[in-house]
Amino acid sequence: MRTIIIALLIVGSVFAEPRRQSLEAAWLLTPYSVTVHAKATATGLIPLPTPKKQGLPEYPMAMRLQGIEGLVSVRITIDEKGASEIVRVLRATRPEFLASVKEAVQKWAFGPAMQIDRAVSSELDYSFEFHLTE
């Protein structure tokens, strides 16, 4: 009797592991896209800030698994040295998407906007669209 119970526990753990792996594989294989749109809000600046380092935000795993798409719009300030910071959230459909955008924007770097021969701070509006694709 004792041997049968141990065998059932082992079989149960063997079947549980592939299910977890299949969920992880489904998450990894879910195709998606993150589209970024930028709009300058500064005027009289030539040239506008130029992106030097700009990675895309990650599509949050929980949102991908649930099939949820989203949109985040933010206003970003670029200082005279080219560092970026979100100054205002204009729209966010889910906090998970906003957290992903904040994490990505913190790593961005720009060439600053110029006014005559002087670097100046500026603002840009960015929209991030998170879409699941077929």
pLDDT of residue 21: 47
Give yes or no for residue 53 having a pLDDT over 80.
yes
Long-range own/partner contacts, residues 112-119 (CB < 8 A, 24 or more apart): 112/49, 112/78, 112/79, 112/80, 112/81, 112/82, 113/42, 113/45, 113/47, 113/48, 113/49, 113/78, 114/45, 114/46, 114/47, 115/44, 115/45, 115/46, 119/80, 119/81
Give yes or no for residue 1 having a pLDDT over 80.
no
pLDDT in tens, 77-134: 899 998 988 889 999 999 999 999 999 998 999 988 888 889 988 888 989 999 988 6
pLDDT in tens, 54-76: 888 999 999 998 999 999 999 99
Q: Of residues 93 and 2, which shows the higher confidence score?
A: 93
pLDDT in tens, 17-44: 344 445 455 545 567 777 877 776 655 5
pLDDT of residue 9: 27
